[in-house]
A and B are shown apart, each in its own frame.
Chain A
Amino acid sequence: VKTMSGRRSRGSVSEEEINELISRLQTLLPTARRRGSSSASTTKMLKETCSYIKSLHREVDDLSDRLSDLMSTMDNNSPAAEIIRSLLR
């Protein structure tokens, strides 16, 4: 939901908007402590966001490595492989 786009008139963004974004971001992160969410500090949020994204990237890498290994060992005669072959042709 895009809100408050009108407040950009002076090229600056209001503090409340930033705060709102930070607290919304906080709810996304797995390690968020939700007691009195206003205490989220910017630096901490930024740091957690960065490390969360990094760990997600790593997961994607691991999973795609796993997938490519699985694909290479797929038994060529298995019905599963046959299905995929015929359907993805």
Chain B
Amino acid sequence: MGAPSSSTKAFKQGFLRSFLLSLRSCRNGAMGLQERKRAVRSSADIAMATTRGSGAMWPQALLAAASSSSSLPWPRRLPAAATVKTTTRRKNMARRRCLQRRTTTSSGEIARRLVRKRTKVLRGMVPGGELLDGASLLREAMDYVVHLRAQVAVLRRVSNAMQHRPSSHHMTGPFHSPRFLMSVPCMQIAKHNHVIHFDLYHHDSCSGCCTTSTVENRDDRKGSSLGWKPRIERWQQSEPPRSVCRMAKKILYCSEA
């Protein structure tokens, strides 16, 4: 499906950041399983919508649905009260017919009915789709699909990384998951005015199943790990587990730009 564009990459990074941050609240052990599942799902949705921003319609609808009730199953619909009726019913009908006009076969009527039915289904699948006319609906659907795919990819990498995490006091060979987890500090480092990127496209060296991510300091493209040191040293002062420091050092000296 072609190489990911830079905007997809930026989206994935932003999404990952927001998602991980919002997961913080889900780590509370007091949550029941179902509750945590719902929380994780809505964290993913909210992260996706907020990262996408204002370039499309669906993020607003998704956010509205997620905030009104986090227990709604798919598809998430706008609550009726929140629907903004900006056009008259007749105009809406005319707009919706533009998709049907495209069908010019001899069995036109049946085909048009099918198109109408399927368009309705599509409206239900795309957040905010009920308000859109044919062309906008298609555009929104495309945008939504692209970002859904990105969301799936990031979620998959996160869960793979967490699955391969080292158990206590025992480090697995490849540092894929530690590397991934260690890249989380970059969110803190951002406070120090370094621009840190998750490089989710760095070579997947481990049979494609694990996340390999490196942290690049934008100011120094030679793969300098200088940005890490302050953090690590602070950890050393507060005595983190030794294995953490070892992991950190190995990642610093292993990861290439």
A56-B145, A87-B188 given; A43·B111 CB < 8 A: yes
User: Is residue B187 within 8 Å, beta carbon to beta carbon, of the partner chain?
Assistant: yes
CB proximity to A under 8 Å, residues B111-134: 111, 114-115, 118-119, 121-122, 125-126, 133-134
A47-B118, A78-B165, A86-B240 given; A42·B102 CB < 8 A: yes
State whether A11 touches B94 (Cβ < 8 A): yes
- On chain B, the residues within 8 Å of A56 by CB distance are 145, 148-149, 152
State whether A46 touches B142 (Cβ < 8 A): no
State whether A80 touches B165 (Cβ < 8 A): yes
State whether B182 touches A83 (Cβ < 8 A): yes
Number of B residues near A (Cβ < 8 Å) is: 76
User: Is residue B192 within 8 Å, beta carbon to beta carbon, of the partner chain?
Assistant: no
A25-B138, A50-B125, A64-B155 given; A78·B102 CB < 8 A: no
CB proximity to B under 8 Å, residues A1-44: 11-13, 15, 17-19, 21-22, 24-25, 28-30, 41-43
Number of A residues near B (Cβ < 8 Å) is: 53
State whether B27 touches A71 (Cβ < 8 A): yes
The main secondary structure of chain A at its interface with chain B is: helix
State whether B142 touches A25 (Cβ < 8 A): yes
- On chain A, the residues within 8 Å of B163 by CB distance are 70
A53-B145, A60-B44 given; A42·B115 CB < 8 A: yes
Pick the contact of B102: A18, A65, A71 (CB < 8 A). A18
Bound form: Cα–Cα A21–B141 in Å = 10
- On chain A, the residues within 8 Å of B33 by CB distance are 68-69, 72
A12-B98, A13-B134, A43-B115 given; A25·B141 CB < 8 A: yes
A-B contact pairs, 21 of them (CB 8 A): A18-B138, A29-B145, A46-B99, A50-B118, A64-B37, A64-B41, A67-B158, A68-B36, A68-B39, A71-B23, A74-B162, A78-B165, A79-B171, A79-B178, A79-B244, A79-B247, A80-B166, A80-B178, A83-B184, A84-B27, A88-B184
